[in-house]
């Protein structure tokens, strides 16, 4: 073999060795770039919540701070990751029943202190689909059936998988499987279960019929494993299957939302019922003033009301949260709202009238008021109140007030 042939062989060998080394080096650089291309964010939310509730000897005063740290990555071959930590601490008065501190002489403010991993997931994104596995917030539609309950200091999150597929330009399919729910009562509550386990399946198909007109078809199949160390309503009888559809769109100058669903018991529920849900809401703007009106019914059957235990319940049926559990004779909510602005401050007022669905019971009425001021892109503040006036003996008069200061960096 000539010297030239030997040199050619050595060069070829170096190229063969160098190629995978170069590939590995490029991949490592891509991975490092994904990590360095991520984001770090901070979110501090202070809230004072005061509650005056008839039938409870003392008024509640809760002063809490929710501190959030989040870290996300850039994309690496379609993969991204996120981890988010929350801490809820008491920074002022703690004269309230957090449901875990044993202070039952005060009304409930469901913001127990504690630290937890709020989200931790890996996401893969393709052209027309994506999938997320891990702990995550899950919000469907307007969160009437499944939501993250972001209003509370300790947010609700889910362990499991969520996939989204843009099947057609006008049709999107969204499916989730959650085997564990981290509730607002966590992470250390001994009175209410901080976690629910079970096989929960959520399906939502969004069909864009035309510009400004969407129809959603959904199925929410909730299965909550029974934990008999808690009283029955805490875990037992919370499993259900709900099927329904909704329309969201704009007709003439009006924003319209309408929905219907049917619900029956499921899993190891000891109940026997089939109850309906109805919603009709219309809104619009007149001379810069927002107006809306709606009628929502959670019906009952066999003494059991239509239930949405995984919803962001604070958004519905009044901010006083008197109907977190649907009464056995159901509930009808007729509401009217007006909104506007005074300089940079956004104003809102909503009036609710609550009646039983399957009896003549009058539950009461409520006035909700809010003033929100987004001072800048980082800092915002809100003053909010809920005034519930009870009729009959089922509920009690309740007044609540909130002051919220939030800093996002």
CB contact at 8 A, 30 and 37 = no
Residue 23 pLDDT grade (very low, low, confident, very high; cuts 50, 70, 90): low
Q: What is the DSSP letter of 237?
A: T
* Mean pLDDT value of segment 251-267: 96
The pTM is what? 0.90
Share of the chain above pLDDT 70, in %: 90
- pLDDT for 313: 97
Q: Is pLDDT of 399 > 60?
A: yes
Average confidence (pLDDT) over 348-356: 98
Residue 248 near residue 211, CB atoms below 8 Å: no
What is the sign of the dihedral through the CA atoms of 312, 314, 318 and 324? positive
- Using pLDDT thresholds of 50, 70 and 90, give the confidence band for residue 176: very high
- Please provide the average confidence, as pLDDT, over all residues in the chain: 92
The pLDDT value given to residue 231? 78
Does the pLDDT value for residue 248 go beyond 80?
yes
* DSSP single-letter state for residue 108: B
Q: Are 181 and 194 in contact (CB under 8 A)?
A: no
Q: Minimal CA–CA distance to 184: which of 312, 65, 323?
A: 312
Asked if residues 71 and 60 have their Cβ atoms less than 8 Å apart, the reply is no
Residue 11 has pLDDT above 60, yes or no: no
Residue 343 has pLDDT above 90, yes or no: yes
143 pLDDT higher than 60: yes
pLDDT at 191: 79
What's the mean pLDDT in 57-62?
96
The answer on pLDDT for 312 being more than 80 is: yes
Domain locations in the chain as residue ranges: 1-36, 37-408
- At 92, the pLDDT band (50, 70, 90 cuts) reads confident
- 78-81 long-range contacts (CB < 8 A, ≥24 apart) are 78/124, 78/125, 78/126, 79/34, 79/122, 79/123, 79/124, 80/34, 80/122, 80/123, 80/125, 81/121, 81/122, 81/123
CB 231 within 8 A of CB 153: no
* pLDDT in the model for residue 152: 97
Rounded mean pLDDT, 316-333: 97
> Which CATH number does 37-408 carry?
2.40.160.10
Q: What is the pLDDT of residue 314?
A: 97
d(CA 257, CA 98): 35
Taking only the tens place, the pLDDT of each residue in 272-288 is 999 999 999 999 999 99
- Better-predicted residue by pLDDT, 89 or 236: 89
Start-to-end CA span in the chain (Å): 68
Residue 186 pLDDT class (50, 70, 90 cuts): confident
Helix (H) or strand (E) holding 213: strand 213-222
64 C-beta neighbours (distance < 10 Å), count: 24
């Amino acid at each position: 073999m000539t010297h030239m042939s030997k040199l050619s062989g050595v060069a070829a060998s170096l190229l063969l060795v160098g190629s995978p080394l170069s590939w590995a080096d490029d991949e490592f650089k891509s991975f490092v770039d994904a990590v360095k291309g991520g984001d770090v964010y901070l979110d501090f939310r202070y809230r004072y919540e005061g509650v005056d509730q008839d039938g409870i000897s003392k008024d509640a005063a809760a002063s809490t701070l929710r501190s959030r740290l989040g870290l996300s990555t850039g994309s690496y071959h379609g993969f991204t990751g996120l981890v988010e930590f929350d801490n809820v601490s008491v920074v002022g008065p703690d004269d309230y029943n957090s449901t875990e501190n044993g202070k039952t002489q005060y009304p409930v403010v469901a913001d127990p202190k504690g630290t937890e991993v709020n989200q931790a997931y890996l996401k893969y994104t393709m052209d027309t689909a994506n999938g997320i596995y891990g702990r995550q917030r899950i919000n469907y539609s307007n969160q009437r059936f499944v939501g993250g309950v972001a209003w509370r200091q300790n947010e609700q999150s889910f362990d499991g998988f969520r996939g989204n597929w843009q099947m057609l330009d006008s049709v999107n399919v969204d499916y989730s499987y959650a085997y564990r729910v981290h509730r607002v009562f966590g992470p250390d509550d001994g009175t209410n279960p901080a976690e629910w386990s079970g096989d929960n399946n959520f399906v939502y198909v969004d069909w864009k019929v035309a510009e400004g007109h969407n129809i959603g078809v959904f199925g929410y199949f909730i299965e909550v494993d029974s934990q008999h160390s808690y009283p029955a309503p805490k875990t037992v009888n919370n499993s259900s299957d709900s099927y329904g559809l909704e329309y969201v769109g704009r007709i003439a100058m009006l924003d319209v939302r309408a929905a219907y669903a049917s619900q029956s018991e499921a899993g190891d529920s000891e109940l026997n019922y089939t109850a309906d849900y109805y919603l009709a809401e219309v809104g619009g703007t007149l001379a810069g003033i927002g107006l809306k009106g709606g009628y929502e019914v959670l019906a009952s059957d066999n003494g059991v009301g239509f239930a949405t235990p995984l919803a962001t319940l604070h958004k519905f049926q009044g901010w006083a949260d008197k109907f977190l559990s649907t009464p056995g004779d159901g509930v009808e909510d007729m509401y009217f709202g007006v909104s506007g602005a005074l300089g940079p401050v956004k104003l809102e007022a909503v009036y609710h009238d609550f009646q039983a669905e399957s009896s003549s019971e009058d539950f009461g009425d409520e006035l909700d008021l809010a003033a929100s001021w987004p001072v800048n892109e980082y800092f915002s503040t809100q003053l909010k109140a809920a005034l519930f006036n009870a009729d009959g003996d089922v509920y009690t008069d309740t007044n609540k007030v909130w002051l919220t200061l939030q800093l996002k960096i």
